[in-house]
Amino acid sequence: MSLPATRAILLLPFRRPRLFLAALVYSGLLYGASFLAGIDEIMDPYWVLTMAVLLLLSPFFNGVSILSLHARNDKGATLWRALTRTITCYPRLVVGELVVNGLVILGSLAFLVPGVYLGLRLIFYKQAILIDDASLIASLQASAARTTGWRIPVMLLLLLTPFFAVPAAMSYATLAFSLGASGEVLTVVVSAAGLVWVNALVTSVYAPERESPAGGEENV
């Protein structure tokens, strides 16, 4: 990915405030749910709430976000069109979330590397469903086909790692150093920006000929 394209993606949360606001709401809900029970506290009933937020809300956020990023140069694009398209694809996105995350978790239980590898190989399934109207099986196959070899998985690993590592480190620092509410708010804000960056980056890699992160204004 070129330096100008990377720079444009990094500026997206500032250039697209509505996307950032949507990410902020989603990040806040997810953080609030996970605050009640950690992922390792599976016997805690609040853990179900955390998983429900992730499973049921993430397709809406990711769907509208990805379609907005993909259609930024379409002057007829609207939030309503992105939302209705996401609703149409919603069952496939939910099942895909279950399948992909399940495979990643199983791979991670065996050893961390297989989980990361599977996540990178299947990373494009949302874009295939939303942009190309692929079935769930076809979307997984398309993602696996696009990530054959080492170049794209390694590139994605290098580009995406900071966007996941920084919020995780901040969340740990908030607990370790008792930063309190200010640390939690900052963690949510940084996580929200990371969500915008990740969707923009993955969508740009999936559809480079149609994507232009520095594109002009649109209605979405």
Residue 212, SS3?
Answer: coil
pLDDT for the residue 50: 66
pLDDT for the residue 86: 94
pLDDT for the residue 15: 82
pLDDT for the residue 28: 86
Q: Which residue numbers in the chain have pLDDT < 70?
A: 1-2, 33-51, 53, 72-77, 209-220
Residue 113, SS3?
Answer: helix
For the four alpha carbons of 107, 59, 202 and 50, in that order, the dihedral sign comes to: negative
- Reported residue count of the chain is 220
CB atoms within 10 A of CB 137: 12
CB atoms within 10 A of CB 74: 16
pLDDT for the residue 92: 96
pLDDT for the residue 139: 97
Contacts of 147 (CB under 8 A, 6+ apart): 120, 121, 123, 124, 153, 156
